[in-house]
Amino acid sequence: AVAIQEQLKPLGIEITLLNTDTKTHYSFLEQKGDYDLARAGWIADYKDPETFLGISRKASGNNYSDYISPKFEEAMD
pLDDT for residue 72: 97
d(CA 26, CA 30): 6
pLDDT band with cut points at 50, 70 and 90 for residue 37:
confident
Q: What is the mean pLDDT of the chain?
A: 91
CB 57 within 8 A of CB 76: yes
3-state secondary structure of 59: coil
Domain limits, the chain: 1-39, 41-77
pLDDT of 68 higher than 90: yes
